[in-house]
Amino acid sequence: MQAKLSAKILDGTKIAAEIRAEVTAQVKDLAAKGIRTGLAVVLVGHNPASEVYVRGKVKSSHEVGLHSEQHSPSESATTEQLLALISDLNRRDEIDGILVQLPLPPHVDAKKVLLAVDPSKDVDGFHPMNVGYLSTQRPGLVPCTPAGVMEILRRSGIQVSGQEAVVIGRSDIVGKPVAMLLLNQNATVTICHSKTRDLPEVCRRADILVAAIGRAGMVTRDYVKPGSTVIDVGINRVTDRREFDRLFSGNDAAYKKREETFLAKGSTLVGDVHPEVAEVAGAITPVPGGIGPLTIAMLMANTVKAAKLRRGIE
């Protein structure tokens, strides 16, 4: 019987810590020049998941020395009220980054609010102007998760230039920008989606496979070329025991620990990539502890980048 192979685990937590340390040094350097770097987070209403995300972002801001503000309009805030808040933040020179936490309440015109953010302060990289800068390789702000994907590849010594990359998912937040970043680094890029014919066959061509579809464990070993690098962007909460058993098996300590946590909490986190892929891939990002920590680290890095771009600092 052939021994199971085991992919190199790309440690996002460790790389995120490296990036945060670099950001801390840059914040101190700007402070020495008399520049206080500031991030404003807008959280409308009381969405529990959003509140957790925002707390994490504010905490990380303090840890790297950024000035951060949280603005919390009520659930009933109108589009006009939010536009007035954004306009005020745009005017304030000490605010370098503005982040509007999604989702916004249904009665709010989310597109209008996001478009109102000054592109030079758009640390999420969602504004059409920053999308245009990315596609034409001009300096601008890049969405945090795709930027994190590129950092984990670069800092793990994984070659991108000349490689065949396949991205599963075409969202404006992850799929499209990560494909553009890979293309800008001279990869040959294929974007797949729900209408792609014979998805596993297309994915098996990939030297670098990025899964960003939001479906727990959809990418199985049949999708993966042996020895390839697999980047799992998905974060899915599994609550059904049958689904847990489909995804996880074994008798080792790691399995037992995960099962204990699942039984105690009633849920576990899993990516878009089935855990069995680690037996085929050459390198893989775990969930949790892969791309997730890098998203917040890149938000911190984007805020410092915005501060420098706005002031013409190299």
d(CA 298, CA 293): 9
d(CA 28, CA 24): 6
Catalytic residue positions?
A: 57, 101, 124
Could you tell me the strand order of the sheet in which 97-100 lies?
67-71, 38-42, 97-100
Residue 146 dihedral angles phi and psi, to the nearest 5°: -60, -40
Closest CA to 262 of 285, 243, 280: 243
CA 255, 10, 182, 50 torsion: positive or negative? positive
Work out the burial of residue 22: count CB atoms within 10 Å of its CB; fewer than 13 is exposed, 13-18 middle, 19 or more buried: middle
Using the structure block, give the residue that is written with the tokens 């402070």.
31
Long-range contacts of 47-55 (CB under 8 A, 24+ apart): 47/103, 50/101, 50/102, 50/103, 53/101, 54/101
Beta strands in the chain (DSSP E): 8-9, 38-42, 67-71, 97-100, 164-168, 188-192, 208-211, 229-232, 236-238, 268-270, 283-284
d(CA 260, CA 290): 22
d(CA 222, CA 40): 44
